[in-house]
Amino acid sequence: MARFAVQGGYVIKSAHDVLENGYVIVDGQTIADVTHELPPDIREVLGGPHDIVIPGLVNTHTHAPMTLFRGMADDLPLMTWLREHIFPAEARHVDREFVYVGSLLAVWEMVRSGTTAFCDGYFYEEEVGRAAKEIGVRAWIGEGILQFPTPSLSDPARTIEHSREIIERWKDDPAVRPTVFPHAVYTCTPELLKEAFALAEEYDLIYQIHLSETMAEVEDVKKNTGMTPVRFLDSLGCLGRRTLAVHCVVLDDEDIRILAERSVSVSHNAESNMKLASGVSPVPKLLAAGVNVSVGTDGCASNNNLDLLGEISTVSKLHKITSMDPTVIPDRTALSMVTLSGARALGYDGGVLGPGRPADITVLDGSSPNLVPVHNPVSHVVYAATGGNVKDVVIGGRVVVRDAKCVTIDEEALLRECRDIAKRIRKA
């Protein structure tokens, strides 16, 4: 399908620009035009006259392989969940096969619910990249950098070297791009944090890090350094345009000012933060300060799904109730956070449907009962739609989902593999 069209009763080019009764013309890997008229040479048309066409969704924080831990350790606070359940389970079960199969499952779930790009951090990240390439999604992958042994690296003294090796293997890939991923301030020494940032600068890569996720983390870092995690990371020279700060739940006004001045992007993970009772990120203040705020789902062990449409609905409503202001995070802002802002956080030209832009397109089925009638299509995307309404997905001009089925994998074979791994986990 070198040249084809995607039709919609509503084509949401961006959160603030909607074309009624239009077509997105795809030529190769990019968008050639967005128009009311179907060019006479076009024979293949996805979508339909009642569908809602939107830019592909961007998930800026995941741990894709953790789909295989979904529901394993629910209803626990973060540190108990992490140290007493997740870290031990990873030590017992995580290997290359686990990461590859879990990533296939995650990517299938993501594309099936409209996501066309995601940023991941875990272990054996090359297997995440392999799964992403097989299914056809854009991925930013980061091997976990920590000060202690991990499932993929027994010698923590080699963690920077190990990341460099992965970067070298993936640095020229057009769809799967490496990042540098120091896990957090509390799991990396100051020297390791600085070495990781230098590595990101050397290769001009994203530096993704969990930051100020809980009050316990903030108090612990203050006790050890006399500074908040944001100010501590800034003192090390590790905040800048390449930094993608994940969570940012516990921030004061000075932290927000620093994040804005350093041009840091933030990945807001509302549902994970709610489930772990980590708190509520001050997103309205971050936006008011000019911080680029995107949205992530986090991993399936702490959310427990990868549905970005459900996530943005939560984001908008969460901040309305915590501020007691129904005008906070309106529908257009929420949609921008998972499209244009997400693309900006990852440093690529997506998030908008327009000539010359990547052909990353998601189609919502306009015949779904929860999407009828349409008074405001942007409102429908944010407040009414779910991932189950996704009908077609195009990534880089390639049709990955057609009529609600992922056409680039054997779905039944993957399900069997995932169920086999789950049986092994339960027996352990």
pLDDT 10s digits, 348-370: 999 999 999 999 999 999 999 99
Average pLDDT over residues 196-214: 98
395 with 56: CB under 8 angstroms? yes
Q: Which among 281, 285, 190, 204 is positioned nearest to 238, based on CA atoms?
A: 190
- Measured distance CA(361)–CA(352) in Å, rounded: 9
The string of pLDDT tens digits covering residues 94-122 is 999 999 999 999 999 999 999 999 999 99
In the chain, what are the domains? Answer: 3-55+359-406 (2.30.40.10), 57-346 (3.20.20.140)
Average pLDDT over residues 283-311: 97
The string of pLDDT tens digits covering residues 165-183 is 999 999 999 999 999 999 9
Q: Which among 208, 209, 205 is positioned nearest to 173, based on CA atoms?
A: 205
Rg of the chain over CA atoms, in angstroms? 21
- Measured distance CA(268)–CA(303) in Å, rounded: 13
The string of pLDDT tens digits covering residues 373-393 is 999 999 999 999 999 999 999
- Across the strands, what pairs with 30? 27, 358
245 with 259: CB under 8 angstroms? yes
pLDDT for residue 2 is more than 90 = no
Residue type, 321: I
Percent of all residues in the chain with a pLDDT value above 70, rounded to a whole number: 100
The string of pLDDT tens digits covering residues 229-248 is 999 999 999 999 999 999 99
pLDDT for residue 428 is more than 80 = no
pLDDT for residue 425 is more than 90 = no
C-alpha triplet 208, 214, 218: angle, nearest 5°: 85
Average pLDDT over residues 342-347: 98
78 with 286: CB under 8 angstroms? no
Can you say whether the dihedral through the CA atoms of 89, 94, 98, 99 is positive or negative?
positive
- Measured distance CA(42)–CA(341) in Å, rounded: 32
Average pLDDT over residues 256-274: 98
pLDDT confidence of residue 182: 98
pLDDT confidence of residue 312: 98
Helix (H) or strand (E) holding 405: strand 405-406
Confidence band (pLDDT; 50, 70, 90) for 1? low
- Measured distance CA(55)–CA(348) in Å, rounded: 13
- What is this structure's pTM? 0.97
pLDDT confidence of residue 360: 98
Average pLDDT over residues 116-130: 98
- The pLDDT mean for the chain works out to 96
> β-strands 138-145, 115-122: how paired?
parallel
